[in-house]
Amino acid sequence: MSNSNLHLLEILVLPEQIENELDILNSIKSKTGICIEDIKEWRIIKKSIDARKSPVKFRLEVEINLNDIPFEPIHKPVYSNLQPTLNQHAIVVGFGPAGMFAALELLKCGIKPIVIERGKNVRERRRDLAKINKEGIVNPDSNYCFGEGGAGTYSDGKLYTRSSKRGSVEDVLNTFVEHGAAEDILINTRPHIGTNKLPGIVESIRETIQKLGGEIIFDCKLTDIHIHDNKIKGIETSNGFMQTENIILATGHSARDIYELLEKKNILIEAKPFALGVRIEHPQEIIDKAQYHCDTKNPNLPPAYYSLVTQAAGKGVFSFCMCPGGIIAPAATAPGEIVVNGWSPSKRNGKFANSGLVVSVDENDWKDWQHKGNLSALYFQKEVETKAYLAGGGNLVAPAQKIKDFIRNKESSSLPECSYIPGISSANLHQILPAKVRKSLQEGLIYFSKKIKGFDSDDGIMLATESRTSSPIRIPRDKETLEHTEITGLYPCGEGAGYAGGIVSAAIDGIRCAKEIAQKKTNPKV
Ligand SMILES: Cc1cc2nc3c(=O)[nH]c(=O)nc-3n(C[C@H](O)[C@H](O)[C@H](O)COP(=O)(O)OP(=O)(O)OC[C@H]3O[C@@H](n4cnc5c(N)ncnc54)[C@H](O)[C@@H]3O)c2cc1C
């Protein structure tokens, strides 16, 4: 740090001390020897929980300032002061996190984004979501995955990522704060927005894009791509033809019709490994007790979290998208399938904890679908989702089983309370999941039940299927230019392209694709 009057240090404090300024200052004093009176300003710049042993503590990275020059703000807005001059355009297909951040970045680079989105804006989308929950009816263009903000709008809004691009992650988090997320996401090592806050943030990002000159067209679906000499010439949409030389294709991993279209047009796509399994749920209390090593949870601690991983029966088994205090969500994108996922409100104050529990699958698992060529993994995925729908008995009722009964391969005679709103019905999930997946899950669950006390108790339940953790297809692209390996001007982007997983990495991928288009437009190859 250049200013010798600024110091960074790490301290551990008990949960009851986290809101007490004097306790924190005393910890700083005992760690550094600096008198409290000499500290002009202090702030927490990273916060995490260390629950490895009892007592559970908060680990804080603290910055202290010993001079009179105030700290620079942690949050750095970008778009409030931006005044771009736009003289070119690019088309973005899909307005999920990848499409949203691609559009923002194009504006930064002086290019007008024209975004087409098959779904509706956040407000109108709500009516279709009510139909899913109340009547079990899925509109294939407007659901929990399709519409303004994509799958991100009604996601859980956990913003952690394995991306090592620190600067890019900070840019994405800062953009969320600029559009209404709490600044806490900039310091928390496990940043989380919450389903209740995301729709407003997404609307605010849309307003920024429009204010800066971008165009967003809802209810507009990409139906065909015009290509000549392996170059993009335009797109066909439900609203008609649009001429363009560059498309950012950010349609997500649930847009099966897009994969079918690419395959039909002989645009190279590849089946790729993905993960398949169930969503599990427990009373939050069980997880709190196990993870915080206590009988009664300290009210200063957030609802507890877990992350589980093992190798079982030759396959990776892992928890995914764990939602403390959350609910299980119906994430199907077409009639006749059950897809579950999870979310939680910003306060994570629901009474259940849910998580995906999935098994890695590869080409050996979808051998029976080999006749479908590049779409084989997708058909394998779809088959399991359809089986789950039929086992549930329709109307999005999900087949469910107690964890302990799944381990014993026995249908549950009764089911505990569950947060999934369309409802659950008892079924043996062994009859739905592929053989290797259920074997790995069974062994994995036995192992995880030793790690977390109460995991296989009477209240632990599992629902099929958690099948969309990642894309079963990759749309291959050049490592440098990010263009499709065979089609100039086609930028496969985000989760659906197989190059991202989750909100932040999809957003970063959107930014990268936009930058490449800008770079190409400024330095065209002759
Ligand atoms: C319930 C739930 C909870 C989740 N929780 C988290 C979480 O906590 N943290 C996390 O990181 N991730 C979470 N995810 C995953 C996250 O939402 C996705 O990884 C992310 O949204 C992917 O972004 P994307 O832009 O690549 O694709 P998507 O978000 O899928 O967006 C694609 C968009 O393209 C549109 N589209 C599709 N086809 C067409 C077409 N033909 N024409 C025009 N538009 C089209 C779709 O309508 C959609 O809006 C969750 C997902 C769900 C469903």
Q: What is the pLDDT of residues 321-341, one digit of tens each?
A: 999 999 999 999 999 999 999
Place of tokens 């407007």: 142
- pLDDT tens per residue, range 505-524: 999 999 999 999 999 988 77
Q: What is the chain's mean pLDDT, rounded? A: 95
pLDDT at 3: 55
Indicate the burial class of 318 (C-beta count within 10 angstroms; 0-12, 13-18, 19 or more).
buried
Strand 41-50 and strand 57-65: pairing?
Answer: antiparallel
Tell me which residue of 206, 200, 210, 265 sits closest to 235, measured CA to CA.
Answer: 265
Q: Is the pLDDT of residue 171 over 90?
A: yes
Q: Read off the tokens for 395.
A: 């109307």
> In the predicted model, what is the mean pLDDT of residues 312-322?
97
Give residue 87's pLDDT: 85
Look at the block and give the residue holding tokens 């994430």: 331
Whole-prediction pTM value?
A: 0.96
d(Cα 317, Cα 272) in Å, to the nearest integer? 17
The helix (H) or strand (E) run that includes residue 465 is: strand 461-466
Q: Residue whose CA is closest, atom 30 of ligand 1?
A: 252
Evaluate whether 360 touches 273 at the Cβ level (below 8 Å). Answer: yes
Please name the residue ranges forming H helices in 58-119.
97-108
Provide the pLDDT confidence category of residue 297 given band limits of 50, 70 and 90: confident
Q: What is the dihedral of CA 489, 495, 500, 502, to 10 degrees?
A: 140
- Name the token pair of 175: 């953009």
Give 175's contacts (C-beta < 8 A, 6+ positions apart).
78, 79, 101, 104, 205, 507
Q: Look at residue 270 and tell me whether its pLDDT is greater than 90.
A: yes
The pLDDT of 27-51, averaged and rounded, is 95
Q: How far apart are CA 489 and CA 517, in angstroms?
A: 8
Instruction: Please tell me the CATH code under which domain 6-65 is placed.
Output: 3.30.70.2700
Candidate from 251, 346, 475 with most ligand 1 atoms within 8 A of CB, to mutate = 251
- Atom nearest to 100 CA in ligand 1: 25
Q: How many whole angstroms separate alpha carbon 463 and alpha carbon 401? A: 7
Ligand 1 centre distance from Cα of residue 156 (Å): 12
pLDDT at 496: 98
For position 4, what pLDDT does the model report?
66
Give residue 38 CA to ligand 1 midpoint distance, Å.
Answer: 49
Give the confidence band of 265 by pLDDT, cuts at 50, 70, 90. Answer: very high
Q: Which CATH topology does 85-268+475-522 take?
A: FAD/NAD(P)-binding domain (3.50.50)
Task: Tell me the CA–centroid distance for residue 413 and ligand 1, in Å.
Answer: 36
Contact residues for 375 (Cβ-Cβ < 8 A; gap 6+): 259, 260, 263, 269, 271, 369, 473
pLDDT of residue 523: 77
Q: Closest ligand 1 atom, CA of 142?
A: 47
- Rg of the Cα atoms in the chain: 24
Q: What is the distance in A from the centroid of ligand 1 to the CA of 63?
A: 36
Q: So what's the pLDDT on residue 319?
A: 98
Amino acid identity of residue 303, one-letter, is P
**Mean pLDDT to the nearest integer, 365-379:** 97
Mutation choice for ligand 1 from 132, 155, 219, 258, CB with most ligand atoms inside 8 A: 155
Residue 489 has pLDDT above 60, yes or no: yes
CA 140 to ligand 1 center in whole angstroms: 14
Mutating to test ligand 1, I would choose from 105, 122, 141, 145 the residue with most ligand atoms within 8 A of its C-beta, which is 145
Instruction: Ligand 1: list residues with CB < 6 Å.
Output: 93-99, 116-119, 144-147, 150-152, 154-158, 221-222, 250-252, 254-255, 258, 321, 329, 331, 341, 343, 494-496, 500-503, 506
**Calpha distance 56→50 (Å, rounded):** 6
Residue 132 CA, ligand 1 centroid: distance in Å: 17
What distance in angstroms lies between residue 151's CA and the mean position of ligand 1's atoms? 3
Q: Given this model, what pLDDT does residue 524 score?
A: 73
Q: Torsions phi, psi of 375, nearest 5? A: -95, 10
Mean pLDDT of 279-292: 97
Of 101, 118, 322, best ligand 1 pocket probe by most atoms within 8 Å of the beta carbon: 118
Count of all residues that appear for the chain in the document? 526
Ligand 1, residues 217, 305, 503, 513: which to mutate, most atoms within 8 A of Cβ? 503
Q: What is the mean pLDDT of residues 446-475?
A: 97
- Give 1's pLDDT tier (boundaries 50, 70, 90): very low
The ranges assigned to domains in the chain are 6-65, 85-268+475-522, 271-466
Separation between Cα atoms, residue 402 and residue 422, nearest integer Å: 18
C-beta of residue 411 within 8 angstroms of C-beta of residue 306:
no
Once rounded to an integer, what is the mean pLDDT over residues 435-456?
97
Residue 487 has pLDDT above 60, yes or no: yes
Three-point CA angle 389, 391, 394, nearest 5°: 50
Segment 118-129 shows an average pLDDT of 97
Q: How far is ligand 1, taken at its centre, from the CA of residue 102, in Å?
A: 14
pLDDT in tens, 55-83: 999 999 999 999 988 999 999 899 998 99
Beta strands, E only, 250-295 = 270-271, 274-283
Question: Directed axis angle between helix 376-392 and helix 256-264, to 10°?
Answer: 150
Q: Which protein residue has the closest C-alpha to ligand 1 atom 4?
A: 155
Which of 436, 403, 431, 429 has its CA nearest to residue 314?
A: 436
Residue 369: what pLDDT?
Answer: 96
With residue 29 as reference, give the H or E element that holds it: helix 21-32
| Best residue for ligand 1 mutational test, from 495, 505, 511 (most atoms within 8 Å of Cβ) | 495
Residue scoring higher pLDDT (524 or 243): 243
pLDDT of residue 2: 46
How far does the centroid of ligand 1 lie from the alpha carbon of residue 41, in Å? Answer: 41
pLDDT single digits (tens) 490-507: 999 999 999 999 999 999
Quick one: pLDDT band at residue 525, thresholds 50, 70, 90? low
- For the chain, give percent helix, strand, coil, nearest 5: 35, 25, 40
State in Å: Cα 154 to ligand 1 middle: 9
Cα(69) to ligand 1 centroid in Å equals 43
Q: How far apart are the first and last CA of the chain?
A: 46
Tokens 């957003």 sit at which residue? Answer: 507
Measured in Å, residue 315 CA sits from the centre of ligand 1 at: 27
d(CA 192, CA 169): 14
Who contacts 125 (Cβ-Cβ below 8 Å, separation ≥6)?
119, 142, 147, 148, 153
Residue nearest to atom 9 of ligand 1 (CA): 158
Burial of 123 from C-beta contacts in 10 A (0-12 / 13-18 / 19+): exposed
Mean per-residue pLDDT, 247-256: 98
